[in-house]
Amino acid sequence: MADAYVTVAREGVHETEVSRSRFRCALAPAASEEDALAFLARVRAAHPAASHHCHAYVIGADAEIQKSGDDGEPGGTAGLPMLRMLLRRDVRYAVAVVTRWFGGTKLGAGGLIRAYGGAVGQALDAVGTVTRRQWRLATVAVSHQRAGRLENDLRGTGHRVREVAYGPRGVTIEVALPEAGIGAFRAWLSTATAGTATLALGERTYAEG
C-alpha cells in the first residue's frame, strides 16, 4: 500500500473556453469504479445537449484501476490526456468528466489534447486537493483509573484518538498511528502508564493529515 495519496477535496467544477468551445470539468472523489461511473452518468444526465462527455478516473492508492473514454472525440485526444493529468498530479480515488460544447472551430488533435488535459489541471487547481496518509489502527486497553489522564495525554501530544469505549473491566482507546511511529508509541505508552496498558494493532487505513 502507498504511504499516501492525493485526491480531490470535494465535488466541484471549473469551466474554460478554447476557440469558442466550452470545456466544463467536473471532479469528484470516487471510492470505487462504480462511484466513478455513477458520477459520469449524473453529469451526462445534467447536460444532455452537450457535444461530448469525456472521462478519466483512477481508483486505488497505487492506481490499480486507470480508465478513460473519448466519447466520440478522436481516439486518444480527450480521455487519455485527462488521465495523464490525474496521474501527473498523483491524484487517486477520483473521477474527472469534461463536458464539451462545440463552438464551431476544430482544434485538431494537438489542440484537443491540450484543451482536455488543461481543463482537468485547471479544475484541480480551482477545486483543490487533499493528501490522505496511511495510518495503522491500534487499540489501547487501560484501567478506568488511568484512562482519563491517558486520553488527555494522547490528545495533548497530538495522537489521533478515534474512539473511547468504557467497559466493566476497563477502557479501550482506538488510535491511528503512523507505521513508522509504532515502536516509539509503544515505548511512550509503557512510560505513560507504568507498563499497565496493552496495545493491539489492527488494520491499515487512510485519513487526511
Q: What is the mean pLDDT of residues 14-26?
A: 95
> Which residues on adjacent β-strands are paired with residue 199?
140
Task: Return the pLDDT at 104.
Answer: 86
Strands 198-208 and 94-101, sheet pairing: unpaired
Residue pLDDT, tens place only, 35-81: 999 999 999 999 999 999 999 999 999 999 999 999 999 999 999 99
The answer to whether the pTM exceeds 0.85 is no
> Which range marks the domain in which residue 152 is found?
132-208
Selection from 45, 15, 23, 26 nearest residue 94 by Cα: 26
Residues 136 and 119 in one domain: no
Residues 8 and 83 in one domain: yes
How far apart CA 132 and CA 92 sit, in angstroms, is 10
Of 109, 127, 145, which one is at a domain's C-terminal end?
Answer: 127
